[in-house]
Structure 1
Amino acid sequence: MIHRLSWANWGHFYRAFLKGLKVCVFYLAVLSLFRLFFIAWLHAYMAPGTGTADVIAALLRGTRLSMQTAGALAVCSFLPYLVLAAHAQMARRVFLAINGVLLAVLSVLYVASFPFYRQFHANFNQMLFTGAHDDIGALFWTMVSEHALPVRLAGALLLACMLWRVLRALFDWNFFECVFSARSFSAPVRFLGRMAFLVLLCLAGLLAVFGGSLGWETAVNWENAGVTRDAFLNEAILDNAQAIYRARELNRRMLACNGLDFTADDIRLLAARLAHREPTSDDLDDYLMRTAEGARLEKPRHVIVVLSESLANWPLLDKYKNIPIASGLRSLIAEEDTDYCPTFLPNGASTVSAVTGVVTGFADANLYLTTMPEAFAAPYPTASAPQMERLGYETNFWYAGPATWERIGAFTQAQGFAHFYSRGDFGDVPGSVWGCEDEVLYEKVLAGLTDEPSFNVVLNASNHSPYDLDLQAKGFDAAAVRAALPAEAQKDDWLVKELGHYWYADRELTKFVHAVREKDPTALLVIVGDHGDRYNIDKTPLLYERYGIPFIVTGAGIRKGVLSAESAGSQIDILPTLFELIAPKGFAYSAIGTSLTQNTQGVNYGFWITRHAIGKADTAPLVPESLTGGEPPAIDDAALQDYMDAVRSISWWRAKYGNILDDRILEEKGR
C-alpha cells in the first residue's frame, strides 16, 4: 500500500521523493559525463573553427535536454519504489534491480555510439530501423569482427556495474533525508523546509517534462536541440536515449508517410511543371510519359549498370589524385569513349535506396518499397526492367549477397526482372558475410553474357564492412597509400584498410569493364556508387565530398560531351539517360528523372546538387555550399524547390496510392 501522504507522515513522503530526486540528479550527471567524454574522445570530428564556446554551448544544451531523459529514467525506478514503500527491503531490492537493468542498457548504448558515429557521422538515427530489415546474422558477425563486440560489451557491462555501485551508495546515503526530519529544528523551520522541498520538487518536474525549461514555449527537444554551428556537436547534444527517440519518430513518420504533406492538386501542378505541360489530367502516369529524341549511338548488345558498394566520388577529385586508390577509374574516365558526371547523388543513405531507385525509378520518398505490398503487385510504369525489355533486352539482376537481404530477390523480380542471381547461385566462393568478392561476382556476370541482348544491374559488396579482404594477398600497397595521406591520418590503420577496399573495388571494376568490352565491343556500361557516406580522409568533409558519388558512362559510341556540360543528377536519372542514348526516336518511356544529356539538378532524401553547388533540402530558403568550399554560387531557389517537391511527391503518391490523383484516396487509405 502507498502511504497516505499527509503532514502526519511527512517523513515517508519526504524520504521517498528525495530518493527520486537523487536518482534524477544521478542520471543527469551520468548522461552529462557521457556527453563530455564523447566530445573529448571524438573531438577530431569537430569542424575547423569550432571553439570552446561552441563546446560549452553543446554541453549546456545537452544537459537541459538530458533533464527530460533523466526524469523519465528516475520515474521508471521511483514509481515501483513508491508503491512498495511500506516494505522497505523489498522496495530497495526492486529499485536496485530496475536501475541495474537501466544502467546496463544505457552503458551498452553509450559504448555502441562511438563506432556508430564513426560509421554514419551521426548519433543513433534511422539506420537502426534500416538495420532491423537487414541480415541480422551478417550484422552480428560484422560487429564481432569489425567492432570487437565481445570486448565492447564486456566494457559496457563493467561500466554499468561501476555506475550501479555509485547509485547504490547514493541511495543508501541518508544525509539529506535526515536534515529536514531532524526534530532539533523548530516547527516554523521544518514548515519552511517542507515548502522549499515542494517547490524544488515541482521545479524538478517542470524541468524534466520540458527539457530544462519551465514551459513548452522554451522547451528543448530533439528537433530544436542542435544550436551550435558544428554538426558533430549538434549530434553530441542528443544523449543516446534522445537519439533513439528521434530515430523512432522519424521512422514512424516514414512508415506513416506524414513526412510528406501534398494534396492531389499539389502533385498535379508539380507533375505538370516537371513534364512542361498543362495540369489537365487526373492520371499521374500521363505526366510521366517521355519520348526519346533518338539514339546517340548504335544499339549495344549488352547494357550493364554497376551499383558499386560505397563508391564515393571524392577519391576521383583532383585534390586526392596522389592517393593511389582510384587509378583504374581515373584512367577509364580519361578514355575518349567515356563521359563522367562528377555531380551526382545517391537516391538515399543506404544500399536499399539505391536499389529501389534504379529498379523502380522512384525517388526516396519516405517509403520502404521492399516491404510494401503495392511494390509486389505489379511493376510500376517507371520500372527499369519492363521498359528495357520493350527495347529487346533480357533483364538480369546480379547481387553479391543473399537473395533474402531486403527481400531483394523477390522485389526485383516483382518489378519485372526476368532473372535474379545471388550468392546462393555461385557455389562456395570467397567473400564476407555481406557477399562474395567483387572479382567472383564479375566473373559470374561475364560468363552470363551470351549472344542474346541483355540489360544487367550488378550490385557488389566487397567495399563494405567488416573490411576483411586479405589486401596484402590482393596486392595492395598500404605503405604507398599511407605515405600519400595527410600527416594526421597516416597513423589511422583502420582508414588505410578502408581505403584498401576502395582500391580493390576500383581495380576489379576497371578489369571488369575491359573484360566486357573485349567480349562485346558494342557494350554500354554505367558505373555509379550505391552511396558515398561511409568514410573520408577529412574528419569534417564538405557536403559534396561526403555524399557525392560518380556517374560514369562508357562504351562504343560514347564521347566526351555526350552528357550535358552542366549535368547533375541522382539515381532516378540513370534509366532516362540510357533511353536517350540508345532508344530510337519516338520511343515512349515513363520516368520521373531526366536524362543527364539534359538534366542540371539532382535531389535525394536530404540534399540537392547542381554543377556548382550542393545544399540540404530541408532549409528555407535553400543554402548553397560551393563544391570546393569557396564562395557559394547563386541558385534558382524556387526552381530547385519545385523540382525537389515534384520528384518526391510524385514518387510518394505513385508508389503508395496509384496513378489517379484524387484527395478522397488519401481519406480512404490514410496518409
Structure 2
Amino acid sequence: MATDKVNGVKWKGFYNLTFRWLKVFLFYLTVLSLCRVIFIEILQEYIGNGVTAGDVWLAVLSGARLSIQTAGIITMVIFVPYAFTRLIYKKAGYIVLNVLSGLVAVTTAVLFFASIPYYHQFHSRFHQILFNAVNDDMYALLISLVQEFNLPLRLCGALLMAFVLWWLLDKFLACQVSERLGLQGILSKRGKGGIWAERILVIGGLYLVARLIFFGGSLSWENSVNWENAGVTRDQFLNEAILDDYQAIYRGYRMNGRLLSSEGLDFTPEQVRDLAAHMANRPADSNNLAVYLTKNAQGSTINKPKHIFLVLSESFANWPLLDKYADLHIADNVKKIIAGDDTAYCGTFLPNGGSTVSAVTGIVTGLADANLYLTTMPESFSAPYPTALAPQMEQLGYETNFWYAGPATWERIEPFTLSQGFDHFYGRGDMPKEATGSVWGCDDEYLYQAVLAGVQVDKPSFNIVLNVSNHSPFNVDLTAKGFDSATVAKALPDSEKNNTELMTQLGHFWYADRELGKFVEAVKQKYPDSMVIIVGDHAERYNIDKKPNIYERYGVPLIITGKGVRENTFIPAAAGSHIDIGPTLVELIAPKGFTYMSIGSSLTRSNTMGVNYAVWLTHDYYGEADTLPLTPLLIEGSQDPGIDTLELQIYIDTIRSLSWWVPKYGLILDEVLPYANGR
C-alpha cells in the first residue's frame, strides 16, 4: 500500500514534468511558426512572379517541420537545467526556469527583429557572412546599425516582444491544461490496468515527440528536414523563409566552419609559377597565371551542336559497366549508348571528390579539389573564376542552364552556379507538380521531363543536369518500375543473394540507367543536332566487392554521344577527371584560335592522367595520390607500358597548386601581398 502511494507520487511528478516539457515545446514551435508567417507577410515583395498560395503554404508547413527540431532544442535548453535544479531545491528550479525562458525569449525576439533588415541587406536569412563581422570595424558597424537600421527602435521592439513571450509562456505553464481537458488520471481511474495504460500512453507520446525532434520533423532520417534540404519551393525568398532564425544561424556557422577548415596547401608563389609553366610547356617568365592557363583551341572536330546536355549523375560508378558485372543487367541502357557509332567512352575517369558538391564545383569552376570549400568562399560569389565553364560556353553562343532535381538551398547551389556565370538555375520548385522523390529531390524521370520541356528547340543551350534518385534514402518504387530483382540476385555471390540493402542499391542504379537511356533517346529525337555528356558525380558509396580496388571504388564513366561523335574521339590513352570536361568540350566544338582558360586538358588531344583528393588514375595504372613515392598498380586486363612517376607527381602538384592558388589569391603571383591582387 505504501509502495503504491510512493509510486503514485513519483508518477505524478514525472507526469507533471512531461506535460510542462511538452508545453514549452509546443509554445516555441508555435512562436517560430508565427514568426515565419509574419516574416513572409512583411517581406512579401521579395516573392517572385508566378508563386501561388500553394507555394506559400508549402513553405510554411515545411518550415514548421524544420522548426520542430529547433523548438525541441530550445525546450531542452530551458528544461534540463530547470528539472535538475528542481530536484535539489524546488524554488530554485522555478528561478532557473524564469531566467532561462527570459533569455530564450530575448534571443528569439532579437533574432526575429534583426532578420528583417538582414534580408533587406543580403537577400538571405542569416548566413556565413554573419561570422565575418568579428573582422569588421565594430564601431563603424555599430554606427551603421544605429543610423541605417534604427537599432534603438528595433531593440526596444524586440525587448517588448521578449517580455510578451516570457509572460505568455509563464501563463501557459501555470494553466492546468490537463485538468481542464480532463486528461490527468482519465485512464488510471479504471484501476491498475488503466494506470499502466496511462503510463504507456504518456511515455509513448514522449518518445514520438522526441523522434520528431531528433529527425527534424520526421520519424526517421530518410525523410528528415534540415537546413540543407529545406528549400523545396520554386521561389528563392520562400526557400529562405523556411529556415527559422536559429536554423539560419546554424547554417551560417556550418558554412563558416567549412571555410575555416580549408587548410590550404603548402606551395610558394615561385613553385606555383614553375609548375604552371611546366604544364604550359613554356618559360616561367611571368607572374600572371593567365599566361600559363590560356589555351588556343586547335579547331573543332565536330559541327557545333545546337544543344549540349551534361548529365551529372548521382553515384553513377563505372564498375557496373565492366564486363565482369555484365550479368547484373543494371547498366544495359548506358552500355547500349556506348556501343553506338556516335559515342565515345572513357572508362578511366575520376570524380573531383567523394561528394556531389565536389563534382559540381569541379565541373562548374574547372578547379580541382584542393582543401577549399568553394561554395562557402565569398570569392565564389563575386565573379566567375577565370576557368569557369559557363562564361566560356556563353562565348561560344550558348545560353547556360543548371538543372537540379533537389532544393535550391542545398550547398547554396543556386547562388553559386549563378555567380559562376550560369544564366538560369532550375531546382525542385521548378519540377512537375506530380513529381515523386525523396528528401533530396525529385525522381530522375521528372527531372528529365522538366529539361525536355524547358529547353527551346531553336535557342542554342548548354545544360548541366544534376539528378538525385540513385542516392539514399533509396525510395523509388522499383517493383512498379519493373526492376527484375530475381535476375540480379542470380548474378550475385552467394553471400550477397539475400542482401536486401544491396539489392535496393543496385535497383536504384538500374533505375538511373533506365532513365538515362530514355533521356538520351528523347534528346536525340527532339534535338537531332545535339550532344549528351554523361558522367558520374562520385562512385565510392557501394560495391559488390567488399574490398574494391581503387579503380573500381573511385572510377566514374565519361560518355559523350551525339551527332559527329565517334568511338575514337578520345585519344587511345585518355584518362582524366571532372576538371578535364570543360577543355574536352571546348576542343570538340570551338573554332580554331578560340581562347579559353583551364587547368585541365582535353581528352581529345593530350590528357592521360586524372587526379582527385585521394587517388590518381591513368589508362593503365592507378594509385594513392599522397604516398611517397607514388606506387603504381596495374589495372586488371591492361598491359604494362610503363609509367613516369616523376611526371605524374609533377602533374598532381600542378593541379592542386593551381586549384588552391587561383580561388584564394587570383591570377597574380605576388610573394609579398598575395591578397592584394584581384582576379
TM range, normalised to the smaller chain? 0.5 to 0.7
CA distance in 1 between counterparts of 2:217 and 2:477 reads 17
The superposition leaves residues 38-84 of structure 1 with CA deviations (integer Å, 9 ceiling, x where unpaired) of: xxxxxxxxxxxxxxxxxxxxxxxxxxxxxxxxxxxxxxxxxxxxxxx
C-alpha distance 630-283 of structure 1, shift in aligned 2 (>3 A) = closer
| AA in 1 matched with 2:656 | R
- Give SS of 2:532's match: strand
For residues 420 and 532 of structure 1, do their structure 2 counterparts lie closer, same or farther at Cα, with a shift above 3 Å needed?
Answer: same
Equivalent of residue 557 in structure 1, options 546, 554, 564:
564
Answer whether contact 1:253 1:259 (CA < 8 A) is retained.
no
Gaps of 5+ in 2: 1-87, 90-211, 226-255
Which residue number corresponds to residue 660 of structure 2? 652
Distance 2:414 2:596 in 1: 25
Contact 1:374 1:655 in 2 (8 A): yes
Task: Give me the whole-angstrom Cα distance separating, in 2, the residues matched to 1:611 and 1:142.
Answer: 46
Deviation at 1:662, TM superposition (A): 1.1
**Is 1:445 the counterpart of 2:451 in the alignment?**
yes
Residues 588-599 of structure 1: pairs in structure 2 closer than 5 A = 588-597=595-604, 598-599=606-607
Q: How far off its partner does 1:255 sit?
A: 3.5
- Secondary structure of the 1:321 match is helix
Distance 1:139 1:533, change over 3 A: farther
CA displacement 1:492-547 (0-9 Å, x = unmatched): 11000000000000000011001000011110111000000100001001111000
Deviation at 1:629, TM superposition (A): 8.4
Aligned counterparts of 1:583 and 1:533: Cα–Cα separation in 2: 34
Aligned CA distance change for structure 1 residues 358 and 138 (closer, same or farther; 3 Å): farther
* Alpha-carbon offset, residue 459 of structure 1: 0.2
Query: Is structure 2 residue 371 aligned with structure 1 residue 366?
Result: yes
Q: Equivalences for 1:48-197 in 2 at 5 Å?
A: 144=220
Q: State how far apart, in whole Å, the 2-side matches of 1:291 and 1:138 are.
A: 55
The 5 Å alignment of 1:329-478 reads 329-428=334-433, 429-450=435-456, 451-478=458-485
* Equivalent residues, number: 436
The alpha carbon displacement at 1:286 in A equals 1.6
Q: How does 1:220-231 map to 2 (within 5 A)?
A: none
* 1:256 Cα deviation after fit: 5.4
Distance of 2:260 and 2:350 partners within structure 1: 23
* Structure 2 length-normalised TM: 0.62
How far does residue 384 in structure 1 lie from its aligned partner after superposition? 0.6
Contact kept, 8 Å, 1:567 with 1:601, in 2: the verdict is yes
Q: Structure 1 CA distance, aligned partners of 2:290 and 2:663?
A: 12
Structure 2 residue 308 is the aligned partner of structure 1 residue 303: yes
After TM superposition, the structure 1 = structure 2 runs for residues 468-507 of structure 1, keeping only pairs within 5 Å, are 468-507=475-514
Partner Cα distance (1:476, 1:631) in 2: 37
After TM superposition, where is structure 1 displaced by more than 6 Å over at least 4 residues in a row?
136-139, 251-254, 629-633
Residue matched to 1:268: 273
Aligned partner of 2:426: which letter? Y
Partner of 2:649: 641
1:593-618 deviation line (CA, Å, top 9, x unaligned): 00011210001111110001111110
Partner SS for 1:420: strand
Cα-Cα RMSD = 2.6
**Distance (Å, rounded) in 1 between the aligned partners of 2:321 and 2:549:** 15
Report the Cα distance in structure 2 between the residues aligned to 1:308 and 1:438, rounded to whole angstroms.
9
**Conservation of the 8 A alpha-carbon contact between 1:359 and 1:385:** yes
**CA distance in 2: counterparts of 1:432 and 1:343, whole angstroms:** 31
The Cα shift of 1:253 comes to 10
Provide the rounded CA distance (Å) in 1 between the counterparts of 2:442 and 2:223: 21
TM-superposed CA distance for 1:290, in Å, is 0.6
Residue number in structure 2 paired with 1:539: 546
Alpha-carbon contact 2:215-2:224 (below 8 Å) kept: no
Q: Give the TM-score taking structure 1 as reference length.
A: 0.62
Structure 1 residues 614 and 141: CA distance shift in structure 2, 3 A: farther
Residue equivalent to 2:616: 608
1:139 CA drift (Å): 8.1
Q: Following TM superposition, by how much is the alpha carbon of 1:258 offset from its aligned partner in structure 2, in angstroms? A: 3.7
| Structure 1 residues 543 and 142, CA gap change in structure 2 (3 angstroms) | farther
Alignment partners' CA distance in 2, 1:581 and 1:140: 47
Given that residues 215 and 221 in structure 2 are in contact (C-alpha distance below 8 angstroms), is that contact kept between their aligned partners in structure 1? Answer: no
Q: Which residue of 1 aligns with 2:203?
A: none
Distance 1:350 1:304 in 2: 21
Q: Tell me, what secondary structure is at the counterpart of 2:364?
A: helix
- Partner SS, residue 294 of structure 1: coil
Secondary structure, counterpart of 2:464 in structure 1 = strand
For 1:395, the aligned partner's letter is T
Give deviations 1:143-163, integer Å, cap 9, x for gaps: 9255999xxxxxxxxxxxxxx
Q: Report the secondary structure of 1:535's partner residue.
A: coil
Distance in 2 (CA, whole Å) between partners of 1:314 and 1:613 is 16
TM-aligned CA distance change 1:257 to 1:146, over 3 Å: closer
Structure 2 match to 1:229? none
**Distance in 2 between the 1:634 and 1:445 partners?**
45
Instruction: Please say if residues 312 and 549 of structure 1, whose CA atoms lie closer than 8 Å, have aligned partners that are also in contact.
Output: yes
Partner SS, residue 278 of structure 1: coil
Q: Is the 8 A contact 1:307 1:527 kept in 2?
A: yes
- CA shift at 1:138, angstroms? 12
User: In structure 2, which of residues 286, 295, 305 is the aligned counterpart of residue 290 of structure 1?
Assistant: 295
Maintained 8 Å contact 2:296/2:594: yes
Q: Percent same amino acid among aligned pairs?
A: 58
Q: Give the structure 2 partner of residue 129 of structure 1.
A: none
- Contact 1:531/1:547 (<8 A) preserved: yes
CA contact (8 A) 1:570 1:602 kept: yes
Counterpart of 2:450 in structure 1: which amino acid? K
Displacement of 1:633 in angstroms is 6.7
Three-state SS of the structure 2 residue aligned to 1:281 is coil
For the pair 1:513 / 2:520, whether they are aligned, the reply is yes
> CA, structure 1 residues 531+138, in 2 after alignment: closer, same or farther (shift >3 Å)?
farther
Structure 1 CA distance for aligned equivalents of residues 673 and 517 of structure 2: 49
Shift of 1:634: 3.6
- 1:63-117: per-residue Cα shift (whole Å, max 9, x none)? xxxxxxxxxxxxxxxxxxxxxxxxxx99xxxxxxxxxxxxxxxxxxxxxxxxxxx
